Amino acid sequence: MNSMICKPTESSVYLPSIKELCIFLSDYAAGLLGCGATCIRIEKNITRISLFFGYDSEMTIMPSHIHLTIWNKEHTDSYSIIRRMHKTGISFDMNTKLSKLSWEIADGKIGFQEATLLAERIYHTSSVNPRVVLFLASCANASFCRLFGGDFISMGVVFIATLVGYYIKQIMLEDGADVRFVFFCSAFFSSVIGAGGHIFGWGTTPEIALGTSVLYLIPGIPYINSVSDMLDGHYICAFSRFMNAIVLTACLSTGLCGGLFLMGLGCF
Amino acid sequence: MWIDILQDAFFAAIAAIGFSCISNPPRNSYCYCAFIAAVGHSIRYVLLNNEWLPIHIILSSTIAAFVIGLLAVYLAPHAKCPAETCLYPALLPMIPGIYAYRTVAALLLCLYHPEETLFGHYFYLLAYNGFTCIFIVLGMVIGATIPIFLFKNTSFQATR
């Protein structure tokens, strides 16, 4: 891969100092970590950019920090930074744009200063319209119900349960509530609505409606990322991502249990 | 059978689009996610429900995830996005949510019934559903990740 990267010539490209590159790359890596990129992708992108500018990079990816050191080729000078990851939430769009940026730098299409400006713009990319996400997530969970064998009435119950639960999640997160408490509340309200099938005898598959009503909260991407990191040998990061996902799953399970007990379905 | 397969593919595609939008993907990746999820989920459906040789859900999920991984690696350069962007949302409809729900339910019932016989029964349900859930997720992720590691050059140059 390295042989395929264009090398800059001093006359044509602004060569950043070790410190400048280290600041840029630590921010870049923190952005990638924050948007849910796997460790192998973060390492590859950082190595690609640093090699292009003629520097070596060494990096430790911690659960919520990046520890990056940039060396010159002779290993006589270095600069290290520990940077906290950006709290952007999972964003494949940002992951894609940052990965593209690394190739644009490595192929010599853009210079260092332009890349710094572009990266800043990418860190502040706006996300999908929350109302669209709300509707699509509700449709997705209703489809999920169908995949598990639910009938159309159960799909309707799940759609409403998801709509309400996800809306609560969105407004609580906007207000800056703790994410674990948000998961608890969303699961609680979704399960209360999902229990409607049981209480009122709607449809033939109320159990599937109840079970599916909270599944939109399962943190699937962190689970998948943790196994991917484990396969690549990043055990600390894998364990951290796994534990984060477990904590969120425990919170949603507690919310689900609370909803079931409230609706008198404690014994299922 | 064909209608069931098409219905499974259709709902898997909708689930993939809906769950992927939570993770804020690039706009052009939605159709790839939907296509890959539809193919992967219908393959799992056929493996699980065929009359000749029905395969256990763990192995079926692993095989389907491997196909999803291959498709994601192949299509990522066309979508101009990292393979994970197409891969992960396509895997989400296969997450064994009902097994996870049954595990939590069995755990609650264990705590609710201290008598040995009933406790033993619900503990069996807890272990069965819990293990099945864990091994489905493991099989899925390992199956889907293998193509990314096998074809590293294609996977990591997709955005070039």
pLDDT band, very low/low/confident/very high, at A266 (cuts 50, 70, 90): low
pLDDT at A2: 45
Question: With contact defined as beta carbons under 8 Å apart, do A214 and A195 qualify?
Answer: no
A157 with A246, same domain: the answer is yes
Last residue of a domain, one of A106, A123, A140: A123
Last residue of a domain, one of A123, A156, A171: A123
Is any Cβ of chain B less than 8 angstroms from the Cβ of A252?
no
Residue A79 domain-assigned? yes
Exposure pattern of A146-161 as b/e (b: 16+ CB <10 Å)?
A: bbbebbeebbbbbbbb
Q: Classify A67 as helix, strand or coil.
A: strand
The model's pLDDT over A57-70, given as tens digits with 9 standing for 90+, comes to 999 988 888 999 99
User: Chain A neighbours among B 73-92 (CB < 8 Å)?
Assistant: 80-82, 84-85, 88-89, 91-92
A162 with A249, same domain: the answer is yes
A136 and B21 within 8 Å at the Cβ level: the answer is: yes
Is any Cβ of chain B less than 8 angstroms from the Cβ of A141?
yes
Question: With contact defined as beta carbons under 8 Å apart, do A67 and A78 qualify?
Answer: no
Q: How far is residue B147's CA from residue A255's CA, in Å, rounded to a whole number?
A: 37
Is any Cβ of chain B less than 8 angstroms from the Cβ of A218?
yes
What is the mean pLDDT of the segment spanning B23-51?
90
What is the mean pLDDT of the segment spanning B92-121?
84
Name the percent of chain A lying above pLDDT 70: 94
Number of inter-chain CB pairs under 8 A, A vs B: 164
User: Chain B neighbours among A 164-193 (CB < 8 Å)?
Assistant: none
Please tell me which of the candidates A127, A146, A267 has its beta carbon nearest to residue B112.
Answer: A267
B19 and A38 within 8 Å at the Cβ level: the answer is: no
B19 and A137 within 8 Å at the Cβ level: the answer is: yes
What is the rounded end-to-end Cα distance, in angstroms, of chain A?
56
- pLDDT tops 90 at residue A130: no
- pLDDT tops 80 at residue A265: no
- pLDDT tops 70 at residue A88: yes
For residue A204, what is the DSSP state?
S
pLDDT at B53: 84
- pLDDT tops 80 at residue A10: no
Is any Cβ of chain B less than 8 angstroms from the Cβ of A89?
yes
B24 and A107 within 8 Å at the Cβ level: the answer is: no
pLDDT band, very low/low/confident/very high, at A5 (cuts 50, 70, 90): low
A42 with A81, same domain: the answer is yes
What is the mean pLDDT of the segment spanning A244-263?
86
Structure tokens at A84: 């906290």
Q: At A72, which helix (H) or strand (E)?
A: strand A65-72
Domain count, chain A: 2
pLDDT at B152: 76
Is any Cβ of chain B less than 8 angstroms from the Cβ of A80?
no
Q: How far is residue A18's CA from residue A112's CA, in Å, rounded to a whole number?
A: 12
Q: How far is residue B65's CA from residue B144's CA, in Å, rounded to a whole number?
A: 5
The model's pLDDT over A185-219, given as tens digits with 9 standing for 90+, comes to 999 999 999 888 888 888 888 888 888 888 889 88
pLDDT band, very low/low/confident/very high, at B4 (cuts 50, 70, 90): confident
A212 and B18 within 8 Å at the Cβ level: the answer is: no
- pLDDT tops 60 at residue A11: no
pLDDT at A3: 44
Please tell me which of the candidates B112, B141, B144 has its beta carbon nearest to residue A266.
Answer: B112
Q: Where are the alpha helices (DSSP H) in B23-115?
A: 30-49, 57-79, 83-91, 97-112
- pLDDT tops 80 at residue A12: no
Closest CA to A149 of B159, B64, B49, B138: B49
Q: What are phi and psi of A79, to 5 degrees?
A: -145, 135
Question: With contact defined as beta carbons under 8 Å apart, do B67 and B144 qualify?
Answer: no
Residues of chain A with Cβ-Cβ distance to B85 below 8 Å are: 92, 95-96
The model's pLDDT over A34-60, given as tens digits with 9 standing for 90+, comes to 888 889 889 999 999 999 988 999 999
Residue A33 domain-assigned? yes
Q: State the maximum Cα–Cα separation within chain A, in Å, rounded to a whole number.
A: 77
Last residue of a domain, one of A100, A123, A146: A123
Range of the domain at A11: 2-123
Residue A268 domain-assigned? no
> What is the signed CA dihedral for B57, B10, A137, A131, rounded to 10 degrees?
170
- pLDDT tops 90 at residue A158: yes
B98 and A256 within 8 Å at the Cβ level: the answer is: no
pLDDT at A13: 64
- pLDDT tops 70 at residue A110: yes
- pLDDT tops 60 at residue A268: no
Question: With contact defined as beta carbons under 8 Å apart, do B43 and B71 qualify?
Answer: no
A256 and B101 within 8 Å at the Cβ level: the answer is: yes
Residues of chain B with Cβ-Cβ distance to A208 below 8 Å are: 98
A68 with A23, same domain: the answer is yes
pLDDT at A164: 94
